[in-house]
Amino acid sequence: MKRSWGSVGLMALVLCLSVSWMTGCAKKATLQEGAVVTQEQKAVAQAPAEATAADTQAARERALRDQALSDQAAREAAEKAARDAAAKAAKDAADQAKREAAAKAAAILKELQIADINFDYNKYNLKPLAQSTLKSGASAYLKYRDYKLVVEGHCDERGTAEYNLALGEKRATEAAKYLADLGIEKERIKTISYGKEMPLDNANNEAAWAKNRRAHFVIFPPVK
Amino acid sequence: MMLEKYLCVHNPRIQAVLTLFLILLFSAGPACGKVYIDIDSPSFQQFPIAVADFKPLQPFPENDKLSLLFSDTLSRGLALTGYFHLLDRKAFLEDPKQAGITADNIRFEDWTVIGAEYLVKGGFQTDGRDLVAEFRLFDVIRGELVVGKRYAGKSGDHSRMAMQFVSEILLALTGETGLFDTRIAYVKKSVSSAEIYTINFDGSDPRRITNFNALTLAPRWSPDGRFLAFTSYKEGNPDIYLRNLESGATRKIGFYPGLNLPGSWSRDSKRLLVTLSRDGNQEIYDMTVENGLLLRLTRDFSIDVSPVRSPDERRVAFVSNRNGSPQIYIMDADGANVRRLTDLGGYNTSPAWSPKGKKIAYEGLVNGIFQIFVIDAEGGDPQQLTFEAGDHESPSWSPDGRYLVYSVRGYGRSRIEIMNAGGQGTRVLLEDKETSQSPFWSPHLR
């Protein structure tokens, strides 16, 4: 098998060489023809009338050729314009769709966003206001079932770091349970506690503390 | 000559020095040098001790500064222990040129007459970067050597040598080795993260241990000194990690859904009490670190957190809000026999069991401010140890049980402080604008 490939290669080489040799011959022939043409031109110069007729013919042909060429260019330009227009339209449509999708997604996110709920000092029971916030917030999650959420539990700066991590988790869990009771599947709700480590307001007063004792809701859109 | 020049240039200082000298004279006068200060027994007397400047042990000394560096470092180290009353070197009568550093060429009367009971002397010799130093502790009343050591090292080792000899002095006089081979781990918060640091007991050599750019909390040093357990949010969830302090490697050891918090190691550094919420609620488990095996200790639908073992490992103290407010409870090592320890005050947390086993330190709310308390582990009346403004939190015992380290924050500042177990002798270990918190005392590291 190897051998036969070798012989084919050899043949191919021979073929190539012979072709190039023949091409070399052809070039010489062309040169000779060129010499003949020069002689013909001399003859043409000697006969102007014949030449005019021939010129007219050539010009007509040239015009025809030019016409054909410009027609073709115009055709191509038109085609390109049409293509561009189509592409632009498609792109515009896509952009528009994207814009609409983004607007829709933003609208959905807005619908899904639950406001922070607040807790009393050292407590994790849901106050009536928190319950009504969760009730109105849950409906969007029943509508958009491929969205998930994380409930963050936070505490104010007073008290032990570790105890507050547990307290923050209790707050998150209470809110998550309430949402689950409202019909959001448990698998769609995660909880995490940050204890007192991530206050909203660093001030050292009751107003800041009240703001910091919170459950915060983070929406997770479906992964495409 | 040099002294005069020094005094002229720094006029305010001379006043300060004189004032200090006068105070020392007056305070030392009536009490005859015996100052009674509670270290851990009510009748402890500080040892009056003199530290002489060190002598170069070669005819043409290469480094004069070492003479003072040795005596200053020793003095600072001895003062830090709280056991010593350091005599002012201006009161020294001895002629340093005449006296030697061995018992046969020291006039002990020169020292007894100024009130010293003990004397530290030493000498050093350098050869390029090599340094050899001799340290001797004398009992000047008996006129004899108590302990002598010779250390060889590099020129930068002088302060380590001095601290090592402070430990030798402590061992010789108190039977304890002191704390110069201990460090304190703590959490330093910044705007968006918190990292673990460690610092020497004397406040030197702070080092950053973690660099996760994430919330990292609750450092717990293993009793063998080789590991730090802590919780970090570096992968999102609060998981427990173990840092090998020798290799620098970090391993994730507790990563259940929800909270994963380290509590307290076993003496053999093999098991770790942890708080996990994997079963839906914060419960305490005893985790075998090597294989993650869990033994569940609490079963209560309330917060159970911050477990700490008794030194004999028979009991566990922890925080629970099972009766409403956060309080400290004690249970047997298997979770049985739960009883409430604290009942005064509405918020008692962060229990720390003393190494000798008798006491539990914790933080409690008094008039809206957290203060450090100790209570007998068998129950009884708590004793309040801190009274200043600012929240005093997270007490942790020194391995010898003689000191407590804790954090103080308020007015935009935070400090880590050390006091003796009776609540006296407060010393600021570090102070900063960032929130340094959750100090944890290491075991002996040598």
3-state secondary structure of A215: strand
User: Could you report the per-residue pLDDT of A48-80, keeping only the tens digit for each?
Assistant: 566 677 788 888 888 999 998 999 999 999 999
B194 touches chain A (CB under 8 A): yes
- State whether residue A169 sits within 8 Å of chain B by CB: yes
- What are the structural domain ranges in chain B? 29-174, 183-441
- Contact (CB, 8 A) for B185 and B196: yes
Record the tokens describing residue B52, joined without a space: 């002489």
When CB atoms are compared, the residue of B215, B238, B349 closest to A163 is B349
Q: Does A201 touch chain B (CB under 8 A)?
A: no
Verify whether the Cβ–Cβ distance B391 to A158 is below 8 Å: yes
Neighboring chain A residues of B194 at a CB cutoff of 8 Å:
197
Given a contact cutoff of 8 angstroms between Cβ atoms, the answer to whether B370 and B392 are in contact is yes
Q: Which tens digit of pLDDT belongs to each residue from B23-34?
A: 333 333 333 333
Residue with tokens 């033994």: B295
Of A111, A140, A164, the residue that ends a domain is A111
Residue B354: C-alpha distances to residues A149, B312, B365 (Å): 44, 11, 21
Subunit contact A167:B261, Cβ cutoff 8 A? no
Query: A217 and A149 in contact (C-beta within 8 Å)?
Result: yes
Whole-number Å distance between alpha carbons of B363 and A70: 94
- In this structure, is residue A216 part of a structural domain? yes
Would the CB atoms of A163 and B326 count as touching at under 8 Å?
yes
* CATH number for the domain harbouring residue A141: 3.30.1330.60
Same domain for A84 and A50: yes
Partner residue opposite A163 with nearest CB, options B187, B277, B306: B306
Question: ipTM score of the complex?
Answer: 0.79
Nearest CB partner across the interface for A163, out of B258, B280, B305: B305
Going through B327-402 in order, the beta strands assigned E by DSSP cover: 327-332, 339-340, 348-353, 359-366, 369-376, 383-384, 391-397
A148 with A97, same domain? Answer: no
DSSP state of A203: -
The encoded tokens of residue B389 equal 């403004």
> What single letter denotes the amino acid at residue A201?
D
**Is the residue at A118 inside a domain?**
yes
Whether B351 and chain A come into contact, CB under 8 Å, resolves to no
Q: Say whether both A90 and A121 belong to one domain.
A: no
pLDDT by residue for chain B (446 residues), tens digit each?
333 333 333 344 444 433 333 333 333 333 333 333 344 555 677 889 999 999 998 888 777 788 999 999 999 999 888 789 999 989 899 888 788 888 888 999 999 999 999 999 999 999 888 999 999 999 999 999 999 999 999 988 898 899 889 989 988 888 777 888 899 999 999 888 999 999 998 888 899 999 999 999 999 999 999 999 999 999 999 999 999 999 999 999 999 999 999 999 999 999 999 999 999 899 999 999 999 999 999 999 999 999 999 999 999 999 999 999 999 999 999 999 999 999 888 999 999 999 999 999 999 999 999 999 999 999 988 999 999 999 999 999 999 998 999 999 988 889 999 998 988 888 899 999 878 999 999 999 97
Q: Are B391 and B381 in contact (CB under 8 A)?
A: no
Query: A200 and A122, same structural domain?
Result: yes
CATH superfamily ID and name for B183-441: TolB, C-terminal domain (2.120.10.30)
Other beta carbons within 10 Å of B342? 23
A25 belongs to a structural domain: no
* Residue found by looking up tokens 């660093």 in the block: A202
Task: Classify domain B29-174 at the CATH topology level.
Answer: Rossmann fold (3.40.50)
Q: Which of residues 278-317 of B touch A (CB under 8 A)?
A: 280-282, 303-306
Q: Enumerate residues 6+ apart whose C-beta is below 8 A from A214.
A: A116, A117, A118, A119, A154, A171, A200
Q: Are residues A107 and A206 in the same domain?
A: no
Residues A76 and A117 in one domain: no
In this structure, what token pair is assigned to residue A142? Answer: 């029943």
- In this structure, are A152 and A174 located in the same domain? yes
Instruction: For residue A108, give the 3-state DSSP assignment.
Output: helix
Residue A17 lies in a domain: no
Output b/e per residue, B110-148; b: 16+ Cβ within 10 A. Answer: bbeebbbbbbbbbbbbbeeeebbbbbbbbbbeeeeebeb
What radius of gyration do chain B's Cα atoms show? 25
Distance from CA of B276 to the nearest CA of A (A): 10
> Does residue A156 fall inside a structural domain?
yes
Identify whether residues A105 and A175 lie together within a single domain.
Answer: no
In this structure, the strands spanning B413-420 and B130-139 are unpaired
Domain range for A150 = 113-220
Q: Are B403 and B419 in contact (CB under 8 A)?
A: yes
Nearest CA in chain B to A167: B303
Any B CB within 8 A of A203 CB: no
Between CA B421 and CA B402 the distance in angstroms is 5
